[in-house]
Amino acid sequence: MPRNTTETSVRICEAIYEAFAKSKYGEILANQVRYARYRPENVLHNHWLQLLGPDVSNLEHLLVSLEDAQKFVSHCNFSLNWQGNSNGFVSFDLDEQFLLFVTAVVHDFAEAIIGDISWDEKTQHDEHRELEHLLHIFSELTMSMEMDLIAKSEIVQVVDILRDKDSKLGQAFSVIEIIRYVKTAIQAWHVSNFPYIHSELHDKLKWLTSNVFGNQISRLLELREKYYAIEMFLRSEQVLISEAFNEMSKDTFFHYHDQVLQGLNEKKFLETKKLWQKAL
């Protein structure tokens, strides 16, 4: 199928998603939630989605990621159109956009087999297994789809994007993921302050926010001069990010299961807080 517009690329990715969603693997992801370690046992699947949005559904996360990738590319390319790329921001041509969009839709296929492993617990072995299972699932899907939506060479390129986070598209997709982590963490912070939220849920939502902020925001600050999309995102969320950094309780870090992890994560959070305040 020719891909001479962004809209065509998106339609192809939506077709890939639909094929996956109807498969046995899609059915597995539909029954799983993300950020499960932060969810109290008495908070049901649907309630978790109501609180934090479709991104915390393992299946719907793939469509959310596609939307995130579209917005990211649009914002990055806006810098090229508006500023003539004079400030060195990265932009993406149609072929690169397509590969980013496909990566967004397929990157978590393997979680139907190995489960959702948190970024701060994932090992290189886990990542290698994910890529192997992704190729297997992709092979099954392409055999079942009636039209040739994506070439084998493009599947290899998608795997390379996920494997090499220092390449142009590998780094770009990592940024797309990080922005979504932070968006969900901001939502968790916002919800945690609702008056009807019970104490355990309140505390675990703040734990989610602290973990994401301590592990992810420094990377956005490091790359903000490279990607105009980061600059736009951080400006739009500045108030809530600052509020969460300033009001996070020390008790939040007691949720880690040993004192070493408590100290390590509190230190990362406070160091990132300093970087954030310096960047304002």
Q: Which residues contact 132 (CB under 8 A, 6 or more apart)?
A: 110
Rounded distance between C-alpha atoms, residue 114 and residue 117, angstroms: 8
pLDDT of residue 119: 65
Task: Write out the two tokens for 240.
Answer: 């809530």
Confidence of residue 81 (pLDDT cuts 50, 70, 90): low
CA neighbor of 149 nearest in space, from 5, 4, 6, 9 = 9
Rounded distance between C-alpha atoms, residue 229 and residue 211, angstroms: 23
CB 276 within 8 A of CB 242: yes
Strand partners, 33: 57
Q: Average pLDDT for residues 59-68, to the nearest whole number?
A: 98
pLDDT of residue 152: 83
User: For 144-183, how does the pLDDT look when each residue is reduced to its tens digit (9 = 90+)?
Assistant: 765 477 888 898 999 999 999 999 999 999 999 999 999 9
pTM score of the predicted model: 0.93
CA neighbor of 211 nearest in space, from 250, 271, 266, 279 = 266
Exposed (0-12), middle (13-18) or buried (19+): which is 57, by Cβ within 10 Å?
buried
Long-range contacts of 189-195 (CB under 8 A, 24+ apart): 189/240, 189/243, 189/244, 190/240, 191/51, 191/52
Task: Write out the two tokens for 171.
Answer: 């780094």
SS3 category, 33: strand
Confidence of residue 127 (pLDDT cuts 50, 70, 90): confident
Greatest mean pLDDT among 80-84, 136-140, 205-209: 205-209
More confident residue, 131 or 2: 131
SS3 category, 57: strand
Residues, the chain: 280
Q: Average pLDDT for residues 194-198, to the nearest whole number?
A: 91
Task: Write out the two tokens for 245.
Answer: 């950094």
CB atoms within 10 A of CB 6: 17
CB 90 within 8 A of CB 76: yes
